[in-house]
Amino acid sequence: MPGWLRFLADWNPVSALTAASRELFGNPGVPSGNVGWPLAHPVTASLLWSAALLVIFVPLSLRAHLRRGR
């Protein structure tokens, strides 16, 4: 896989969520070797992705809601 595509695959929130689900169900599928941080720590990465998305989109949705309510 090309380096730029591997970077996108490693830092994809869906990949982190899939790896976290596998790890929590007892079937870790992370290959040994050179993997990105999100695949090495999938549960933490999934929680960070969730927090980041909430921090970004909750204020935006509240702003849009208040703007339409007037």
Arithmetic mean of pLDDT over the chain: 88
* CB distance 45 to 53 below 8 Å: no
Structural domain boundaries, residue 16: 3-69
The values of phi and psi at residue 30, to 5°, are -75, 120
Q: What is the pTM of this model?
A: 0.78
* Total count of domains within the chain: 1
Average pLDDT over residues 41-46: 92
Angle at 24 between CA 18 and CA 25, to 5 degrees: 90
Residue 36 has pLDDT above 90, yes or no: no
